[in-house]
Amino acid sequence: MPRFEPHPPVRAAVVTGASSGIGRATAEALAAAGHPVVLGARRLDRLQEVAEGITDAGGAAVALPLDLADDRSIDQFAAEAEEEVGPIEVLVSSAGDVYPATALAVEPAEFARQVQVNVIGAHRLVRRLGPPMVERARGDIVFVTSDVVRVPRTHLAAYVTAKHALEGLARAMQMELEGTGVRVGIVRPGPAATEQQATWPAEVLDEVLAEWTRWGIVRHPGYLRPKDVARAVHTVVSMPRGTHLTLLEVEPEAPRGGAGLTRRG
């Protein structure tokens, strides 16, 4: 007899922040691997485009609106996700929000909003979808965090705080769920080519990059592609039962011969 029963042949997955960037790439990667995927984000039109692309490629996807700053939206999303695809076997918490401002410049309301989206909303969704996993004695919960936990960055005070809190939540859950059959993993990406920084004004981005360079945080112009991080997430959830990847950090490789810093966007 095996020590652990294998994964079910079909494992329904939920991915938040799935309208773009890492969330979208993760949803596409999981769908390509055979997971029916529920996509969650605020931009329903973008979500539907992603879902259509997945189904056109032969996968199964459902797009549902999700606002992690709205408790009712989270509760409704969780209920509808289970109605659409059945028991959720995989939850990838990838939604996030980042606003460039120092600790003394960021408005308290904006600071609170980033903590709400990145941490409190994520916890509420996990609280809805996690207990049934424990009852079934299997499941994967993956939190996509950031390497700002390891190397804090200036001008991202609220984001750094939120991602530290998110990893704290994940670490506590890893201990609490040990032996239940539910695995909690952390995927910690470094700088990635997503829409987040691309929306910042050019002068703000230049100022921030200059500060990061001064602190030795940015050493080369390489960026991760969202699909690179998605592959890491898929690796975490696809490991056979009996194996638990607790933390997987992904960093961009420096371009060969690359020197100096270039600005995206």
159 is catalytic: yes
Provide DSSP, 34-53. Answer: T--EEEEES-HHHHHHHHHH
Helix (H) or strand (E) holding 154: none
**Is the CB of residue 96 less than 8 Å from the CB of residue 117?**
yes
The catalytic residue among 159, 183, 188, 192 is 159
**Measured distance CA(226)–CA(247) in Å, rounded:** 18
The dihedral built from the CA positions of residue 11, 16, 18 and 21, taken in this order, carries a sign that is negative
Structure tokens that stand for 248 in this block:
């997987």
Query: Percent helix, strand and coil across the chain, each rounded to 5?
Result: 45, 15, 40
**251: nearest Cα among 119, 118, 151, 142:** 151
**Residue whose tokens read 């997945």:** 54
Contacts of 10 by beta carbon, 8 Å cutoff, 6+ apart: 34, 35, 36
Please list the active-site residues.
Answer: 159
